[in-house]
Structure 1
Amino acid sequence: MMNRLPLLVCAGLPVLLAGCALKAPPASVDAPAPTRWYASAPAAPTIDAAEARLPHGGVVTDLSQWWQQQNDPLLVELIEAAQIVSPNVASAHARIEQSRANAVAAGAALIPKLDLNASMNRTNSQPPLPLNTTSQVALQPSWEIDLFGANRATNRAAIVRYQGAQANWHDARVAVAAEVANRYYSLRTCQKLVEVTRSDAASRSETARLSDLSMKAGFEAPANAALARASAAEANGRATQQQALCDIDVKAMVALTAIDEPVLLSKLAASSVPATTPGIVIDSLPAQTLVQRPDVFVAEREVAAASAETGSAMAARYPRLTLNGSIGVARFHSAGVATDLQTWSIGPLQLSLPIFDGGRRAANVDAARANYESAVASYRGTVRQAVREVEEAMVNLQSTASRSDDARTAVDGYRNSFEATEARYRSGLASLMELEDARRMRLASELNAVTLERERMQAWVALYRAAGGGWRNPDQNANAAVATSLQSSSGTSSDSSDGLKK
């Protein structure tokens, strides 16, 4: 009995120690998320218990459906084309595969490992002993009994980082959609600016022609005719420069979508430019929309991963218990006689107790805790930055909406003033200087109106980006729930979720 006491102590010690709970830091922490938005918006924002934790609900097809709200099929087509060829999306997908492999490897450490070993040995001994051959095949299982959860913590960290890689993939897709939309709206407004500058150039050319005729007839001073020609030349140069900017936007769109330039130009020509680009209606913007932002999601997952890694580092300071075994068959052949053997063993049951390592494991725990604190600070800072970006986008959106009516009023007023001044000039009641001043103010107001429209669409895209890839209002959530219920009752199923979660 006395000889068995050390063995019992060694076997019971890990069990007793396993009862001591390792207190790792919490896997989730609070962040200063707002309960409401303070920037003015088209409608007062409300709080909606959003369940989505990834952009567009984590469903690939929802992204194109969201952009279909713009009623511009070409924009949706360009976004889908850019998604396919984007190197950032491809890189993010590769990181998903890497994270998945890491998660599989971490999970494999929790289950027993089984190896197959085969060997053959031929021995020549001194006479009179004959030659002999030994062959052996054995299955060798091994298992580290995760007493203190080190491997489980590592597995949790790998899983949450895999989830973060998924979010980064969605972030890449949302970024591509926003970049394409911004470039597309820039191109469309550039085309409108070309129309404005060409119309202005034509008007100035006509004034120059009439001034030249008047000068030749002796009714206009040569200086006025020269001024009219200079004004026409300036307008032509402005129109040429604006067309060059549009050509640059086309080149950028070709690079984004990998669509051949002639094909893209034909698509742009076939798709008419709307007089005003429709906006996305906001009934309410849920404050919890922030949680679907990929950077917020990743930062939150990083806190959970750092917590798990801290627990793993703490568990590394406690004993490790491993169990090995072997099941095999062997054949011994010598002097024409073969002997078959079957062997099996359980053990050794090995206990490894760290005693002295120069403070390495304690330092690892301190480093893991510091990394955790850094992850918490980064998470809270990311949430604050997200709030700022949403607020700024809504301020810009409200500002452009408020200025739109004034811009249209200014265009109408300056246009009427120019037309009246032009009529007076042709009747000889207004000077060329008055006409050019009226023309300059009309042109500035028209350019400002088109530029303001581009700012408005950029603000929409910025809000889409800041919200993490769109949002759903409470009525949209209700409609989606009704549609899901109807699909379930009719026995139909949607396969849209199959496209994600990679």
Structure 2
Amino acid sequence: MQPSGAKRTVIAAVFTISLIIAGCASTGGVAPQTDGGTNPATLDAGAAIRAADLDAQWPASDWWHAYGDPQLDAWVAAALANSPTLAIAQARVRSAQSLAGVAQADLAPQLKGDLSIERQHWPDNIYYGPGSLANSNTWDNTGALSLSYHLDLWGRDRNAAERALDAAHASAADARAAQLELETNVVRAYIRLSMNYALLDIAESTLDQQRQILALAEHRLKGGLGTQLEVSQADTPIPEYERQVEALQEAIALGQNQLAALAGKGPGAGDAMTRPQLSLAAQASLPSTLPADLLGHRPDVVAARWTVAAQARGIDVAKANFYPNIDLLASLGGFAAAGPLFQFLHASNGGWTAGPAASLPIFDGGRLRAQLGAASAGYDVAVGQYDQTIVNALHQVSDDIVKLRSLSTQTTDAERSVTAARRNYQLATEGYKRGLTDYLNVLTAQSQLLKSQEGVAKIQAEKLAVHAQLVEALGGGLAEPSDGPADADTLPAHGQHGKAAAGTHSASAVAAASVHTAAATAQQ
């Protein structure tokens, strides 16, 4: 007995499902090899961070205002508005957002229209015989609407859209990192400019002092108290001091050019720049939320986390390729040949189609497994880079804190050295005037005074620069807590390593807990 129509349908459906399941390619156990890499909970924040001032207030995103120089504020604003580097970074963000829109569009039904209108001349009856088309002109027109919708049963399109969106987020974080780097570079260049002005003052003062000593030596020689050797000794350093003055003037001009370039302007923009008037009223210390609310919002950390999330979605996309694609297709159109212009629009010339379409991998030579392997390896790389970014962040913050504390002590010592050297120089000069000491004592005292004055200027500039480095290491000020992806979004949706990685991929959160606990202990 022949099976009924219903039974035939069931048999066909079972056979089709069995074929689909059997036809799905095997993943071969390919999966990420990392379980999250270095566990940030094992990272010791170090004594420098634990001993930081827990009650300090950290600046906002416009942190350079702490230096109290309106001219610096204007140059940073000009750089943010005109920098070609930032314009490139922002263009990359727009490009990534557009690509995310392209991937998002695959989730929606696709409707496509086709229209073809052709005028055809048929040859004489050499080929077609004495029929009506011989040596005639006709319209051969078609018009159709095609609708397709991918069911996305395995989440391939959804994960591809999320991967593209994660990449756009990472690009936006990279743009913020470029902005922070530009801000820091402008501040550093401005600090160097300020230091060169201070060194120029010292060099010009030293040159004036040397010329006064030369005049004194010549006066002593005329009075019969000095020698030609003393005059020669006093005159010898003057060309070198003049060279130092010229070199510092050159450095100032080059610094102005550098600031103009950072601001996206021509060199002439720096000509009207006045001498910097820098100070640092804000305390260079750390808030109690370190690093939970700061290191976790560093642009490079945020970008690394979004990259991990994008790679996780890439694994999901690669796994979805092992399963069948099922689409719903429909079309409606009209077709007409050898008729009037609008013949194809007549109902009698129309047709339609509708139904599902499926495609599935059966034998692919290992291509899908290789793609999954590449996606898994890319995920491992992203996790490793994220972990290394956290390690580098803690390293930079600790280094800058150590430098700031050391420079504070060095500033006090250097200022004491200047006071002693100035006193020694005054005594040596006065003794030389009275004929109680020779010129060698004056030369030695002057050299000591010059070095100590230069040391103070360089230490003060270095302290300002390290403060800027610390702000950069902390991410440029407090940010919104929604900067990065959720912990679950940094893990593949499927895979053997999901549970193992869940507790370790959130490096900023775990490292934050470790450091915050240590800081609270130190406070108690």
- Band the TM-score falls in, shorter-chain normalisation: 0.7 to 0.9
Q: Does 1:408 align with 2:415?
A: yes
Q: Residue 474 of structure 2 aligns with which residue?
A: 467
> Post-superposition shift, 1:80?
1.8
Matched, 1:73 2:70: yes
CA displacement, residues 50-73 of structure 1 (integer Å, 9 cap, x when unaligned) = 9xxxxx9xxxxx64x322222211
8 A Cα contact 1:37 1:45, kept in partner: no
2:46 corresponds in structure 1 to: 38
Aligned to 1:442: 449
> What SS does structure 1 have at the residue aligned with 2:347?
strand
1:479 alignment partner in structure 2: none
Matched, 1:424 2:431: yes
Mapped pair 1:206 → 2:209: no
Asked if structure 2 preserves the Cα contact closer than 8 Å seen for 1:32 and 1:384, the reply is no
Give 3-state SS (helix, strand or coil) of 1:266's partner. coil
Q: Any idea what SS the aligned residue of 2:80 has? A: helix
Distance across 1 between alignment mates of 2:233 and 2:314 = 76
With 170-179 and 117-126 compared, the bigger mean Cα shift is at: 117-126
C-alpha contact (below 8 Å) 2:284/2:467 kept by paired residues: no
1:465-494: per-residue Cα shift (whole Å, max 9, x none)? 211223489xxxxxxxxxxxxxxxxxxxxx
Give distance in 2, aligned partners of 1:426 and 1:10.
114
Cα distance in 2 between the residues matched to 1:155 and 1:384 = 31
Report the Cα distance in structure 2 between the residues aligned to 1:425 and 1:172, rounded to whole angstroms: 58
CA distance in 1, matches of 2:461, 2:272: 23
Q: What is the distance in 2 between the residues matched to 1:280 and 1:182?
A: 18
1:115 and 2:112 are equivalent in the alignment: yes
Secondary structure of the residue aligned to 2:170 is helix
User: What TM-score does the superposition give when structure 2 sets the normalisation length?
Assistant: 0.78
Q: Which residue of 2 aligns with 1:192?
A: 198
Matched, 1:148 2:154: yes
The correspondence for 1:392, drawn from 371, 394, 399, is 399
* Equivalent residues in 2 for 1:116-265, closer than 5 Å: 116-120=113-117, 129=132, 133=139, 135-261=141-267, 263-265=269-271
Counterparts of 1:112 and 1:47 in 2: how far apart (Å)? 56
Contact 2:89–2:175 (CA under 8 A) maintained in structure 1: yes
Q: TM-score, normalised by structure 1?
A: 0.81
Q: CA 1:206 to 1:375, structure 2 compared with 1: closer, same or farther past 3 Å?
A: same
Measured in 1, the distance between the counterparts of 2:256 and 2:141 equals: 72
Q: Encode CA deviations 1:419-463: one digit per residue, 9 max, x unaligned.
A: 222222222222211111111111111000001011111211211
Per-residue CA distance 1:231-274 (angstroms, 9 max, x = gap) = 333322222222222222122222222445555332315xx535
Rounded to whole Å, the distance in 2 between the matches of 1:418 and 1:412 is 10
Checking the alignment, whether the CA contact within 8 Å between 2:156 and 2:316 is kept in structure 1 is yes
Instruction: For residues 280-314 of structure 1, give each alpha carbon's deviation from its aligned partner in whole angstroms, at most 9, with x where no partner exists.
Output: 54352621211212221111111111111111111
Q: Distance in 2 between matches of 1:106 and 1:337?
A: 38
Contact 1:99/1:158 (8 A) holds in 2: yes
Q: How far apart in 1 are the matches of 2:15 and 2:106?
A: 24
Q: Secondary structure at the match of 1:267?
A: coil
In structure 2, relative to structure 1, the CA distance for the partners of 1:32 and 1:398 (3 Å cut) is farther
- The whole-number CA distance in structure 2 between the counterparts of 1:211 and 1:412 is 26
**Distance (Å, rounded) in 2 between the aligned partners of 1:211 and 1:146:** 94
CA contact (8 A) 2:63 2:471 kept: no
RMSD over aligned Cα, in angstroms?
A: 3.5
2:322 is aligned with 1:301: no
Distance in 2 (alpha carbons) for counterparts of 1:69 and 1:169: 24
Aligned partners of 2:291, 2:475: CA distance in 1, in Å? 12
Cα distance in 2, alignment partners of residues 358 and 242 from structure 1: 68
Q: Distance in 2 between matches of 1:337 and 1:139?
A: 17
2:285 aligned with 1:282: yes
Task: Work out which of the residue numbers 336, 341, 347 in structure 2 matches 1:341.
Answer: 347
Does the CA-based 8 Å contact 2:213-2:234 persist in structure 1?
Answer: yes
Which structure 1 residue ranges, 5 or more long, are not aligned? 51-55, 57-61, 474-502
Quick one: distance in 1 between partners of 2:340 and 2:44?
91
Given the superposition, is the C-alpha separation of residues 472 and 168 from structure 1 closer, same or farther in structure 2, using an over 3 Å criterion? Answer: closer
Measured at CA, do residues 278 and 436 of structure 1 come closer, stay the same or move farther in structure 2, by a change above 3 Å? farther
User: Quick one: distance in 2 between partners of 1:40 and 1:307?
Assistant: 36
> Superposed, which structure 2 residues align to 1:346-361 within 5 Å?
346-361=353-368
Change (3 A) 1:365 1:104: same
In the aligned structure 2, how far is the partner of 1:71 from the partner of 1:11? 75
Equivalent in the alignment of 2:317: 312
Shift of the 300–464 alpha-carbon distance from structure 1 to 2, 3 Å rule, reads same
Name the counterpart of 1:324.
329
Contact 2:66 2:280 in 1 (8 A): no
Q: Which amino acid aligns with 1:143?
A: Y
Alpha-carbon distance between aligned partners in 1 of 2:479 and 2:171, rounded to the nearest angstrom = 23
How many percent of aligned residue pairs carry the same amino acid?
A: 23
**Equivalent position amino acid for 1:187 in 2:** L
Question: Quick one: which amino acid aligns to residue 347 of structure 2?
Answer: L
Distance 1:8 1:145 in 2: 18
Task: Read off the aligned partner of 2:328 and give its amino acid letter.
Answer: L
Count matched residues: 458
